[in-house]
Structure 1
């Protein structure tokens, strides 16, 4: 007899069959093929619809240019910092909102010029034959497509479709928004080229460009975009420092229109040059503005003093008057000029000190040279403070980091504190000089008071006039000097290689990337689905899974029955399916021999649940025994849900139930079948107490009587996983066959079977895998030893019945129809 030690290991094993897993995945090849076809089709459609992306560059250099007119005698002095600081400033400026606002406004890039392409609208900037002259103070329709069709060379038709009664407007003069009411529907109107369009939602004049080419009958589209949104799109200009030279910058942009990219790159550099030069000239500009305001008051003062001098000279012998005071006049003028210079310096220091303490914007500070101050500490620090203040105001539009602003504020605070200390020191020295000059002026005035009254009056008037004239001349000289310096200044930014469309520049779309992505997704999507099915599906798929789940021997693999009848072996005795049952018969005979079973042999066939093929296996195993001329009987012991009578077209009025309640004898309930040597005993009418009838002594008597008449007794029992009837019948059986159906029986039921065998509730148990399809997605076949596996290869030719060719063709046609519907 078989002993439990022959299959003592019942626990699930965690080994993973990688090869089997790959074969399962390969079984779903149709899914992968369809998924790949769909993904590649989508990638192709995306590629042909995507606009081409171009990348263009321009190359500039940053070189600190000194003014050729700066000399050691030049009063205006500038200090702009090192080149590295300026490169960082330029990089920040190029990406700042304020800078890009100026460029977008100059180029009017908030206007889209479009034409209809094969799949979508295409940016036609630079290719349209016209340009729009906007009235920026009035509103323009925002976001909507405006169709412009040229009826002739001088007349165009305006067409707009309004879906809502209210539309948004934008006023580009101040970038504000508003709305206006319109009539829902299509608006159409014709205008002449150059005619002013004055509508509640449009205000422009359309002008034809020089050399426009042929455009009659062509349709173009115009769209007005939000100003701030447009600026944000262009803030992404890439700025990269050259590895070989830190002062060389590469500016690059990407877009769908090369003409638009070329214009923007060159315009942004030109705007940068202008702004940098304006910033560089800020020192001179502040000086000129201060001198101009001073000269206005000096002119009136000089005129007033001149008129006073003319009035005094009238009716006087001016020669006699002047002779006595010339030497005193020249001397005191010299002292007055010295005093004025000192006074202006002190006034400048006082004004600068007050400005530093009360203001935070130092970009308007005048140059110290306007007051004749040449102290390098004062000049350099004022220049540095102006540069830092200007740079900080530039960064306010582009940089959001509070740390950077704090760093600038700390630098300006340090310069300001140094300046305040310098002012205190400089003022102390000037106060001493002023006291000295005042004492000299006092000595000269005491001598003058001894002169005649007319000479004193003349010296007094001439003294005022000469002082005013001297100051006025000095200021004119300094203004002229500032103008010359300003005009001679050079920008530190230079074009090395302006942006230009020389062909090429195509960087996208990356069609190959899309196809690679399609390949990846085409494999990944069905793979994920298969994995979900694999991990969610808890049913038995192949023999390998059975061997991993249990050590109970597997003695047979039965294929799928393609016929409508259950009598597969009898109808096609040479089929592969019949051979699989014969293989099971051989295994059973070996088991009976091993157990030394003499005489009649009993076989119980059960399963976990209904639908796994117990009755089908019972009939065909009994048939192979009968075909070997062994008297065989099938006993239907599924008293709850009998099916056996349907397969043999018998009446279920009498059966086992009638015998157990002593209504009928064995002969009365035995039915002969069309198969020689095979009888069948049906279950009979469904009783109210099937479990009690099964455990009654009458069943033992029935088995004993059948052993006297038959060689093989096949017991068709109910599922052991649902009811306990089969467990009660195990005592009458020599061997138990447990039917497992592929892709139907659950793995948990095998664990339950292991427990029952381990506890001894089922003895001499073997497993039969039913409904097996030798396809990759179910794993590998079980091999030659069980009949059905080798029936699918060329070695089976001549041993098994072949299906008619017409039947194969019909199956192929049906499969193709299903695929087409899918």
Structure 2
């Protein structure tokens, strides 16, 4: 038969095993769930709450005045551009300046600090001298009418300062403003406050982190402004301030654009108006001639000579006046003393253009002259008068300069008229319809006049647009203070971490299930040994047994004793021949209960009036002498080497029919002793004396000493310990039967009372493989009891019990 390969992982689903592992690890599941609950609790309790507020602004491109006038929209808006403007640091800075949140106040707590936005019992005014002075928060508390302040994270000690007065501390001028009522409440109250002063340069950086500006709906042209922070009212105020400022800035931007256009139009109107005046003056002689044609007829020459004579006289007067002002300007612009200045002003005192300014300056010079007799030149009064004199000189120079420019412009106009008169004189008969100079001047005047009218119309349109401009945008949903934090989400955190805890607990169950490779029940034995008979199952003993010892005699009606009786009964179905029987007890490794089963199985057989002897052939690690509490000075090792006789080695137990031979001193060659002829002689001799010979052999998974003995006995018994023996050990049993040709090989499942619903007595009978239906139940109704009455367990202990 092909050898089945056992996987390291438990790759087959067994509902009973799964239930058993879950029951055994309920504490692990509940512990992991508790850890998840505790983590969620601490996160919810000691995480600073975060709040969010949002506002929706609608961006509109509609302008009622433009539509009414059928006027092109010169203030076209762009959604992306408005979005960028809202995100700009300049806009945020202006919004924060309106809120005055550069000083933040907190109530000091054990674990969390609570922000007192617009609710702090005091306020702080400050002037920053050193930027480093506000790097650390300030701790403030009140005692005996004064404030005690200290810097957090800086070992600078505490400072006692008066309230409502300016004080200087480490490059910071500050004043704590507090009312008397609030001061009395906080005096010696033990309350501590944290004050964080944020440098204006860092203010934008701090608050820009929580700001989000996104397009809410492209088709509706809406933008959503949201802010996340530690205080709900502050979040709402920041968003509303930014939204309102956006509307105001939108109006200002539009009006600024309109003002620029109106200013440009006004500048053009002024320039065109100057041109019109220029051409009007050039056309004036022609108009005068036309007006006088009806009175003087066609005598244009005489009229031109008369007009030219008048303009020549005016030109002479203007040139004389211009020369006087030039001389005056040249005189006072030079650095002359005040006496010479006073003389020049006195000579020009009758000049009507500068009489007012000249009079003030003369008065100042006279006042200085009178002071100079009483006080020195370095006195404050003299310096004050000198300053005023210099200002008046500058004003006089500016006035004189403007007068000179006006006179020069008048001379230019007179020259232009005289030129026209000369033309009129040369053409005695002036024909206005064919005179090119006149036609050119008249055409330029008409063009500029039409342009002037159009500019006036445009200016009126821009003014109407500006007057009707309210705002293209609208706040359709202002921000409100939301008292429900967005984080931590308490319910979600509990669900998440409880789920994580449950998942970890279940993952532990799954891992333990996959890694569960020990024998759990007789079904595992049958499955992996190709139905090798199970002689019986031995339940776990309730008390701790320090060493393998005889216990079936302590309470013959106990569950343990009944288990061994069942095995004794089942042995009758293996061999029915007459005569002495040999029974070997072996296992794969040490610790599976081999010696315990050998001692107690021998004891239970002895109860049936049969003489039984137990031989300890596990000479490498002997235990039988410990179970019977005797010395191990002589035994099988000394017997097989001929050092001791059989009679010397046989020892009696407290049971009448139960004898035993210990292993004796550990020999160097136990395997050779077991296969020796002397061993055969000893067995034959013991058959004459005893009905049953029980041999405790070495574990076959470690050494091969037991193979020769096992192959020759009547009852070869293999011990498998539930929840201890690996499933791979079962292959040794199959190997003994199939390869070593061990006949009548059977299995005893030790420690099988761990779970009655899985692999226990309710599922498998002791006569597994032989059809022996063990019909006795264990409980009060059938007359079988435990050796010690057990105290009633609490419900939780029953749930968490591993057995």
How has the CA–CA distance of structure 1 residues 603 and 292 changed in structure 2, closer, same or farther, with 3 Å as cutoff? farther
Cα 1:224/1:589, change in 2 over 3 Å:
farther
* Residues 315-336 of structure 1: CA deviation (Å, up to 9, x unaligned): xxx98775237899xxxxxxxx
2:584 is matched with which residue?
604
2:233 to 259, 262, 265: 259
Contact 2:722/2:750 (<8 A) preserved? yes
Secondary structure in structure 2 of the residue aligned to 1:275? helix
Residues in 1 aligned to 2:114 and 2:774: alpha-carbon distance in whole angstroms:
64
- The residue that corresponds to 1:585 in the other structure is 568
Give the number of the structure whose alpha-carbon radius of gyration is greater: 2
Structure 1 residues 802 and 584, CA, compared in 2 at 3 Å: closer, same or farther? closer
Report the equivalent of 1:185. Answer: 156
TM-aligned CA deviation for residue 577 of structure 1: 0.9
In the TM superposition, what is the alpha-carbon distance from 1:500 to its structure 2 partner? 4.2
- How far residue 249 of structure 1 moved from its aligned partner, in angstroms, is 5.6
Correspondence for 1:511 among 490, 506, 518: 490
Alpha-carbon distance change, 43 to 324 in structure 1, aligned in 2, over 3 angstroms: same
Q: Flag the 1:296–1:753 CA change in 2: closer, same or farther, 3 A.
A: farther
Q: Which residue of 2 aligns with 1:635?
A: 615
Tell me what 1:287 maps to: 261
Shift of 1:507: 5.7
> How far did residue 610 of structure 1 move?
1.5
Structure-1 residue corresponding to 2:499: 520
- CA spacing shift, 1:110–1:700, aligned 2, 3 Å: farther
SS of the aligned residue for 1:642 comes to coil
Q: Which of 692, 704, 728 matches 1:724?
A: 704
Aligned equivalent of 2:208, options 221, 232, 237? 232
Counterpart residue number, 2:131: 139
Contact 1:603/1:734 (<8 A) preserved: yes
- Correspondence for 2:107: 115
Offset, 1:92: 5.2
- Quote the offset at 1:200 in angstroms: 4.4
2:74 to 36, 54, 78: 78
CA distance in 1, matches of 2:292, 2:129: 68
| 2:142–2:183 contact (8 Å) kept in structure 1 | no
- Residue aligning to 1:568: 551
CA 19–636 in structure 1, closer or farther in 2 if over 3 Å, else same: closer
Shift of residue 592, structure 1, vs aligned partner? 1.3
Equivalent residue number for residue 669 of structure 1: 649
Change over 3 Å in CA distance of 1:767–1:128 after alignment to 2: same
Which residue of 194, 200, 206 corresponds with 1:221? 194
* 88-97 or 665-674, which deviates more: 88-97
8 Å CA contact retained: 1:24, 1:778: no
Mapped to 2, the partners of 1:321 and 1:729 lie a distance apart of 155
* Aligned residue pair count: 649
Question: What residue ranges of structure 2 are gaps of 5+ in the alignment?
Answer: 294-418
C-alpha contact (below 8 Å) 1:148/1:220 kept by paired residues: yes
Following superposition, the deviation at residue 568 of structure 1 comes to 0.7
Offset of 1:725 from its aligned partner? 0.6
Alpha-carbon deviation of 1:623?
0.6
Return closer, same or farther for 1:232/1:506 CA change in 2, 3 Å cut-off.
Answer: closer
Q: For the residues of structure 1 that align with 2:628 and 2:15, how far apart are their CA atoms?
A: 45
Task: Give the deviation of 1:233 after TM superposition.
Answer: 2.5
Compute the displacement of 1:626 (Å).
0.6
Q: What is the SS of the residue equivalent to 1:147?
A: strand
Residues 686-765 of structure 1 correspond to what in structure 2 (within 5 A)?
686-760=666-740, 762-765=742-745
In 1: Cα distance, 2:606 partner to 2:538 partner: 19
Deviation of 1:240 after TM superposition, in Å, equals: 3.2
Question: 1:205: how far off?
Answer: 5.6
Whole-Å separation in 2 of the counterparts to 1:537 and 1:784 = 21
Query: Who is 2:151 aligned against?
Result: 161
Q: 1:660, 1:698 within 8 Å by CA — same for their partners in 2? A: yes
Cα deviation 1:570-622 (Å, max 9, x = unaligned) = 222221111111111112121113xxx33111111111112222111111001
**Residues 727-773 of structure 1: CA deviation (Å, up to 9, x unaligned):** 12123212211112233322332233333432125432222122334
User: Which aligned segments of 4 or more residues in structure 1 are displaced greater than 6 angstroms?
Assistant: 208-215, 292-299, 301-306, 318-321, 325-328, 446-449, 453-456, 458-477, 776-779, 787-794
Choose 557-566 or 721-730, whichever is displaced more: 557-566
TM-superposition CA deviations, 1:352-399 (whole Å, max 9, x none): xxxxxxxxxxxxxxxxxxxxxxxxxxxxxxxxxxxxxxxxxxxxxxxx
Query: What SS does the corresponding residue of 1:691 show, helix, strand or coil?
Result: helix
- The DSSP-based 3-state class of the residue aligned with 2:693 is strand
- Cα distance, 1:745–1:505 mapped onto 2, change above 3 Å: closer
Give the SS at the match of 1:767. Answer: strand
Check if 1:26 corresponds to 2:19: no
SS of 1:569's partner is coil
Q: How far does residue 629 in structure 1 lie from its aligned partner after superposition? A: 0.6
What is the root-mean-square deviation of aligned Cα atoms in Å? 4.8
Which residue does the alignment assign to 1:323?
A: 288
Report if the CA contact (8 A) 1:288-1:483 is conserved: yes
